[in-house]
Amino acid sequence: MEKEKPIGVFDSGVGGLTVVKRLISALPNESIVYFGDTARVPYGSKSNDTVIEYSIQNTKFLLQKNVKTVVVACNTASSIAIDVLKKQFDIPIIGMIEPGSISAISNTRNKKIGVIGTRATINNHAYRNQLHKIDESLIVFEKACPLFVPLAEEGWVDHKATYEIADEYLKELKQSDIDTLILGCTHYPILSKVIQEVIGKNVKLIDSGVASSEIVRTEIERIGLATNSSARGNISLYVSDISTNFKSIAELFLGQSVSEIIKVDIENF
Ligand code: DGL
């Protein structure tokens, strides 16, 4: 039965589990197959060609797991590869950029929106272009915050060093009068306490994972692919490399304990 197939999710590594956490809240009865490309992370500093090649491989892997839809949890892969994936694969593919942008637009009052993400996401202006596609009059401020990724993976969710780095990264955005800030990277929701304190409580933080989970829910209902099950869905985790601390980081990001993690050879599965 098509409806009972799992939802596929991929990310460059462990960060996409923040999106899985949101998907579980929005769709508790759906099963999820997650692939984290931990052997080839980070994507945020790689060329567009490489990110596209990896994204195609990851999608093929998920399709082999018989998924009914693919969620590109990685903002970098969403920024660079989403159009190629949508063209190449005959299955609904949902990224982070469009849902995050729509959510930001519905929240802003002064039409000044900030975006933070990896270097690749920011250099490709993925969010800015998407925001302007919807509303040309928006004023968009962008800032790459690459050090937030290792800080989140270190679990430094309110460490002094995280505040110092956030102060440095966010200082121009703070002066730009934005009222909405898109967390355009899988890892940033982990640091939302620090980011909120540094940017100020009047700025609304947008978690693209929350926004995309809502889109996944409405989309699978619209096309008749929502599960009929009333039991909790299964979560299967696949990665391309299992590092020593993967389990603990995975649990921090997912917000629940993890029992089994399966390693796959993503180039020869
Ligand atoms: N998952 C990536 C993203 O959301 C962050 C980590 C990386 O650079 O691969 O952009």
Q: What are 90-122's pLDDT values in tens digits? A: 999 999 999 999 999 999 999 999 999 999 999
User: Which residues are marked as active site?
Assistant: 74, 185
Judged against a pLDDT cut of 90, whether residue 135 lies above it is answered with yes
Percent of the chain with pLDDT over 90: 95
Q: How far is CA 161 from CA 27, 86, 149, 248, in A?
A: 36, 40, 13, 21
pLDDT for position 243:
83
Single pTM value for the model: 0.96
Judged against a pLDDT cut of 90, whether residue 267 lies above it is answered with yes
Domain residue limits, the chain: 2-96+210-268, 97-208
pLDDT for position 196:
98
Judged against a pLDDT cut of 90, whether residue 87 lies above it is answered with yes
- How does the average pLDDT of the chain come out, rounded? 96
Confidence of residue 1 (pLDDT cuts 50, 70, 90): confident
Q: What are 20-34's pLDDT values in tens digits? A: 999 999 999 999 999
Query: 45, 97, 187: which to mutate for ligand 1, most atoms within 8 A of CB?
Result: 187
pLDDT for position 25:
97
Measure 108 CA to ligand 1 centroid, in angstroms. 25
Pocket of ligand 1 (CB under 6 A): 11-13, 15, 41-44, 74-76, 117-118, 121, 149, 185-187
Per-residue pLDDT averaged across 176-184, rounded?
98
Measure 81 CA to ligand 1 centroid, in angstroms. 13
Q: What are 193-229's pLDDT values in tens digits? A: 999 999 999 999 999 999 999 999 999 999 999 999 9
Measure 45 CA to ligand 1 centroid, in angstroms. 9
User: Which runs of E-coded beta strand occur in 48-102?
Assistant: 69-72, 93-94
pLDDT for position 47:
96
Confidence of residue 246 (pLDDT cuts 50, 70, 90): confident
pLDDT for position 233:
96
Judged against a pLDDT cut of 90, whether residue 245 lies above it is answered with no
pLDDT for position 73:
98
Per-residue pLDDT averaged across 76-93, rounded?
97
Q: 83-107: b or e for each residue (b if 16 or more CB lie within 10 Å)?
A: ebbbeeeeebbbbbbbbbbbbbbee
d(CA 55, CA 11): 9
Q: What are 152-178's pLDDT values in tens digits? A: 999 999 999 999 999 999 999 999 999
Helix, strand or coil, per DSSP, at residue 51: helix
d(CA 36, CA 258): 14
Class of domain 2-96+210-268 as given by CATH: alpha beta
CATH of 97-208, one of 1.10.357.10, 3.40.50.1860, 3.30.70.1140, 3.40.50.300: 3.40.50.1860
**Would you state the structure tokens that stand for residue 69, as one six-digit string?**
């839809």
Same fold, 2-96+210-268 and 97-208: yes
Per-residue pLDDT averaged across 135-147, rounded?
98
